Every structure is written in C-alpha cells, then in structure tokens.
C-alpha cells in the first residue's frame, strides 16, 4: 500500500505552522493599553500609558521653539507651539493607535501605539 504522506511532508507542514504562529503571535500578545511615545531629535523622552491617566495635565517639551502637550485619558495632542504654521496644534487630539503628530521646527513627534484597532477606520488620511 502506498503512503499518502512522507516524513518530509509532515516536517514541511510543521515548519509552515511554526511560521504562521510566529507571524501572528505578536498581535495576540500585544497590550491593549494605548501608549503615547514622545520623541525629540529621534530620542524617546516620554512614554505615557494613556489608559491609566487619572486626570489631564500638560507637558512642557523644553524644545526650541517651545511646545506644550496636553495629556488626557485616552487622548494626547499639542496644546500650543511657537512654530510659525502650527500644523501640530491643528492636528488635534490623538485617540487611536497609529496616529501621529509632529512639530518639525521643534523636532518633536508623538506616536500612539497599542490599543485596539478601530474597525472601519481609514488606514491613511492626507491633507
């Protein structure tokens, strides 16, 4: 009687299962906490867990030009900046993972990570 699967076939299936698990395991184990990371000159200066913020507060970025960031429960955004165009302030409050606000003259960036993916939300918004 002829065998349907050989030992090499089972080994190949096992390797594919391991690759599949390795690709999707980080998504399963990722935290649901919404985290804001603030960078200045490419160096992370703050990491804030937005889901655990009790009351709103303001952070002075101590950059040139000056900038203020408002932190609220599940939201963060530039409150004020001394840059000429104020695009960072006009971005508004960031509330979902993947959102980013940047003040290029001050060389600061806010990036949201973690949290649950919003269903039906657009992947990219351009101006």
Any idea where the domains of the chain sit in the sequence? 34-114
pTM of the model: 0.67
Cis amide linkage into residue 65, ω under 30° from 0: yes
CA–CA separation, 115 and 31 (whole Å): 7
CATH hierarchy code of domain 34-114:
2.60.320.10
Burial of 71 from C-beta contacts in 10 A (0-12 / 13-18 / 19+): buried
Tens digit of each residue's pLDDT, the chain (127 residues): 677 878 888 999 999 999 988 887 766 665 578 899 999 998 999 999 998 999 999 999 888 888 999 999 999 999 999 988 889 999 999 998 889 999 999 899 999 987 666 566 666 767 6
């Amino acid at each position: 009687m002829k065998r349907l699967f050989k030992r090499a076939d089972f080994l190949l299936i096992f390797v594919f299962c391991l690759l599949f698990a390795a690709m999707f395991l980080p998504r399963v184990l990722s935290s649901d906490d919404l985290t804001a990371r603030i960078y200045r000159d490419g160096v992370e200066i703050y990491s804030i867990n937005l889901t655990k913020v009790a009351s709103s507060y303001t952070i002075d970025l101590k950059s040139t030009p000056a900038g203020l960031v408002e932190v609220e429960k599940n939201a963060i955004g530039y409150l004020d900046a001394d840059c000429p165009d104020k695009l960072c302030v006009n971005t508004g409050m960031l509330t979902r993972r993947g959102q980013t606000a940047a003040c290029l003259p001050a060389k600061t960036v806010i990036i949201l990570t973690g949290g649950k993916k919003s269903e039906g939300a657009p992947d990219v918004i351009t101006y």
